[in-house]
């Protein structure tokens, strides 16, 4: 599926490394170097003399290190993530300021602005440039929000807080992950290439709470599963005398390697996904957006945006279709995992 790793795992891992990367675990490098031969290839243990075994061990160590470097590099180099995308006004006081692969949104108000998603730390100058290109001040960013606590959406938060003094507001169940720099993530906490600068949260959000600034209201809907505190943002914008319901989907994706059955780090994961489908289906949606442009076909819709024409981002049926497809994918994966667990 064409989705991002920590959301895009499906692009990067399968395309580049396949199952090797999914099974690969940076932490046990020492274990692999020391014991993998005797553990996994018993036939190798006895016949070889000590020097030969040492050579094999060294080669296996090198191989593991090489894999670590490759995996680390791929975790950060999806070209779409860091490729600039033209900033533009979506509707009303809502703007797109993200890259081609990582969506960020600016909500402007008379009392300062709200930024949703800090993306990679390397993307922060690009977000700043996009905001300035639209004629706004980066330093007017008063509130920073995220879609969910994965590094492709929140690794730049520490830098943005330093540069703007914005208050960082995060859904309760994602707070420990954000404040540990990703170490407390149920899936990727021991993957060094997924970690980032721990960032202090200024306000802990709870399901259904509002974030208000300068007359604009954003509602934080807990849509858990992809992360424990995955958040779908809802707001209203006014354009040409009409009011539109905006939904910014947190992430409905089941990443490769996610255990939906017997997950000790996240026992209620499958129930949480089920809860998410109910929430997503209940939200009124005119303007369909999400944490990655590919959720809502950013690249296809953007060229269709013309002054005076129909706004391509107004897509209630696209939203319904997307949610239905993702729920179906989840149900298929859950059934598969349940069968395998029998």
The smaller minimum CB distance to Zn ion, of residues 4 and 115, is found at: 4
What phi, psi does 19 have (nearest 5°)?
Answer: -70, -20
The smaller minimum CB distance to Zn ion, of residues 112 and 252, is found at: 252
295 Cβ partners below 8 Å, 6+ apart? 103, 249, 289, 322
Q: Does 185 help bind Zn ion (rule: CB under 5 A)?
A: no
Among candidate residues 95, 111, 337, the one with its CA nearest the CA of residue 213? 111
Among 37, 91, 150, 270, binds Zn ion (CB under 5 A): 150
Q: Does 326 help bind Zn ion (rule: CB under 5 A)?
A: no
Residue list 222-261, contact with Zn ion (CB under 5 A): 251
Q: 333 by DSSP, 3-state: which?
A: helix
Q: H helices within 187-341, ranges in order?
A: 269-282, 298-301, 316-341
Among 7, 154, 174, 294, binds Zn ion (CB under 5 A): 7
The smaller minimum CB distance to Zn ion, of residues 136 and 296, is found at: 296
The smaller minimum CB distance to Zn ion, of residues 100 and 150, is found at: 150
Least CB distance to Zn ion at residue 9 (A): 8
The smaller minimum CB distance to Zn ion, of residues 112 and 290, is found at: 290
Least CB distance to Zn ion at residue 171 (A): 13
* Residue 302: DSSP 8-state: G
Least CB distance to Zn ion at residue 3 (A): 9
| Rounded Cα gap, residues 61 and 236, in angstroms | 55
Q: Which stretch binds Zn ion (CB under 5 A): 2-10, 13-21, 91-99, 238-246?
A: 2-10
Q: Which stretch binds Zn ion (CB under 5 A): 119-127, 147-155, 178-186, 270-278?
A: 147-155
| Rounded Cα gap, residues 309 and 288, in angstroms | 17
Q: Which H helix or E strand runs over 248?
A: strand 242-249
Q: Does 6 help bind Zn ion (rule: CB under 5 A)?
A: yes
Q: Which stretch binds Zn ion (CB under 5 A): 48-56, 81-89, 143-151, 317-325?
A: 143-151
DSSP line for 116-142? E----GGGHHHHHHHHHHTT--GGGEE
| Rounded Cα gap, residues 122 and 148, in angstroms | 18
Least CB distance to Zn ion at residue 150 (A): 3
| Rounded Cα gap, residues 204 and 202, in angstroms | 7
Residue list 43-102, contact with Zn ion (CB under 5 A): none
The smaller minimum CB distance to Zn ion, of residues 250 and 312, is found at: 250
* Residue 13: DSSP 8-state: I
**86 is written with which tokens?**
């033209």
Write out the residues near Zn ion by the rule CB under 5 A.
Answer: 6-7, 150, 251
């Amino acid at each position: 599926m064409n989705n991002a790793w920590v959301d895009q795992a499906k692009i990067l891992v399968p395309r580049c490394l396949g199952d090797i990367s999914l099974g690969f675990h940076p932490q046990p490098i020492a274990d692999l170097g020391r014991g993998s031969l005797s553990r996994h290839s018993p036939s190798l243990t006895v016949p070889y003399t000590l020097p030969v075994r040492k050579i094999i061990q060294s080669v296996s160590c090198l191989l593991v290190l090489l894999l670590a470097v490759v995996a680390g590099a791929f975790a950060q180099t999806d070209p779409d993530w860091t490729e600039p995308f033209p900033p533009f006004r979506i509707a009303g006081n809502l703007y797109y300021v993200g890259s081609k692969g990582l969506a960020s949104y600016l909500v402007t108000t008379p009392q300062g602005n709200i930024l949703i998603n800090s993306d990679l730390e390397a993307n922060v100058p690009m977000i700043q440039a996009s905001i300035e290109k639209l004629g706004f001040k980066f330093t007017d960013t008063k509130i920073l929000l995220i879609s969910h606590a994965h590094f492709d959406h929140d690794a730049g938060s520490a830098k943005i807080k330093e540069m703007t003094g914005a208050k960082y507001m995060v859904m309760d169940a994602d707070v420990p992950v954000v404040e540990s720099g990703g170490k407390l993530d149920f899936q990727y906490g021991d993957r060094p290439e997924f970690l980032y600068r721990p960032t202090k949260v200024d306000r802990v959000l709870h399901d259904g709470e509002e974030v208000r600034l300068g007359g604009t209201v954003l509602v934080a809907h807990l849509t858990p599963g992809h992360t424990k505190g995955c958040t779908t943002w809802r707001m209203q914008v006014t354009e040409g005398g009409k009011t539109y319901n905006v939904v910014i989907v947190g992430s409905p994706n089941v990443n490769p390697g996610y255990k939906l059955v017997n997950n000790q780090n996240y026992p209620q994961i499958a129930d949480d996904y089920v809860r998410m489908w109910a929430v997503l289906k209940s939200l009124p949606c005119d303007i369909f957006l999400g944490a990655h442009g590919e959720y809502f076909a950013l690249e296809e819709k953007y060229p269709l945006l013309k002054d005076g024409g129909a706004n391509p981002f107004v897509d209630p049926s696209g939203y319904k279709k997307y949610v239905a497809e993702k729920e179906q994918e989840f149900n298929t994966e859950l059934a598969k995992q349940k069968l395998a667990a029998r």
